[in-house]
Amino acid sequence: MEKTIFSKIIDGEIPGKFAYEDEQVVVLHDINPKAPIHLLIIPRKPIPTLMDVTAEDLPLIAHIHVVAQKLANQFQVKGFRLINNCGKAGGQEVFHIHYHFLAGFEE
């Protein structure tokens, strides 16, 4: 399987603007933001789609939700959207699961 753009960013082959990272995930600023705050939460483990998540991956998926909470605190937002596009028919463009963290809308 060919490396995705996200794997290349994670591996330092392509630059990315990081907002957060730990041993399981990286968080990047989206290069084409759809919200005042638009971040991508990307697991370091390359899983193509949400349909490819296994029981073994469930702690990683839970960790992504904890990271979303950390981002809300870091960016001092009271609410946010967490979106995953699954498969080509679901609007997924990069086949390395990732979640869009969208925030900063007026209350």
Confidence of residue 15 (pLDDT cuts 50, 70, 90): very high
Show which residues are catalytic.
98
pLDDT tens per residue, range 51-72: 999 999 999 999 999 999 999 9
Which of 1, 9, 11 shows the shortest CA–CA distance to 47? Answer: 1
| Confidence check: pLDDT of 107 > 80 | no
Could you please report the per-residue DSSP string of 15-61?
---EEEE-SSEEEEE-SS-SSSEEEEEEESS---SGGG--GGGHHHH
Q: What residues make up the domain containing 20?
A: 5-103
pLDDT tens per residue, range 70-87: 999 999 999 999 999 999
Summary mean pLDDT of the chain: 95
Pairing of strands 18-21, 80-83: unpaired
Q: How many domains does the chain have?
A: 1
Assess contact for 66 and 96: CB atoms under 8 A: no
Assign residue 60 the CATH number of its domain.
3.30.428.10
102 vs 107, higher pLDDT: 102
Confidence of residue 2 (pLDDT cuts 50, 70, 90): confident
